[in-house]
């Protein structure tokens, strides 16, 4: 069974631009969650989607948004990029939600210049 895939793997953007990251979960998984990882703040929960609905949200500004499609694939968008948004963005999927084993993708390394 294929693992969680994330595209693109690396991205360089300029301050003020917007970016969209994509995540394809493991087949059959309906929960997709997103995390931001930085050296200073560590791993922080962004949001979780289940059956196309945002079920949980972390403490991030409204510039961070996401969505999930009917095939469970998910995208996250960051608008008006700031230097502090430079991070590794990780996507994880699971059968039913955060109370279960999470399968992580390799991440998208975003650099904002």
Partner 1 sequence: SQQGEEDPQALSIQEGENATMNCSYKTSINNLQWYRQNSGRGLVHLILIRSNEREKHSGRLRVTLDTSKKSSSLLITASRAADTASYFCATDHPDTGANSKLTFGKGITLSVRP
Q: What residue ranges bind partner 1 (CB under 8 A)?
A: 4, 33, 35, 42-45, 55-56, 58, 88, 90, 92, 97-107, 109
CA distance 59 to 44: 9
Q: Which is nearer to partner 1, 30 or 109 (CB)?
A: 109
Q: Give the number of other Cβ atoms within 10 Å of residue 87's Cβ.
A: 22
Q: Which is nearer to partner 1, 67 or 97 (CB)?
A: 97
CA distance 20 to 28: 23
Minimum CB–partner distance for residue 15 and partner 1 (Å): 23
Q: How far is CA 37 from CA 28, 30, 56, in A?
A: 26, 23, 18
Q: Which is nearer to partner 1, 14 or 53 (CB)?
A: 53
Minimum CB–partner distance for residue 106 and partner 1 (Å): 5
Minimum CB–partner distance for residue 10 and partner 1 (Å): 12
Q: Give the number of other Cβ atoms within 10 Å of residue 95's Cβ.
A: 13
Place of tokens 């993708």: 105
Q: Which is nearer to partner 1, 54 or 80 (CB)?
A: 54
Minimum CB–partner distance for residue 17 and partner 1 (Å): 23
């Amino acid at each position: 069974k294929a693992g969680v895939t994330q595209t693109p793997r690396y991205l360089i953007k300029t301050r003020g631009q917007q970016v969209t990251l994509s995540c394809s979960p493991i087949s059959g998984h309906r929960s997709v969650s997103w995390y931001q990882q930085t050296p200073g703040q560590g791993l922080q929960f962004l949001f979780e989607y289940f059956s196309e609905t945002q079920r949980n949200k972390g403490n991030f500004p409204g510039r961070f948004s996401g969505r999930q499609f009917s095939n469970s694939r998910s995208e996250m968008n960051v608008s008006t990029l700031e230097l502090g948004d430079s991070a590794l963005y990780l996507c994880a999927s699971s059968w039913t939600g955060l109370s279960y084993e999470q399968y992580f993708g390799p991440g998208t390394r975003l650099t904002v210049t």
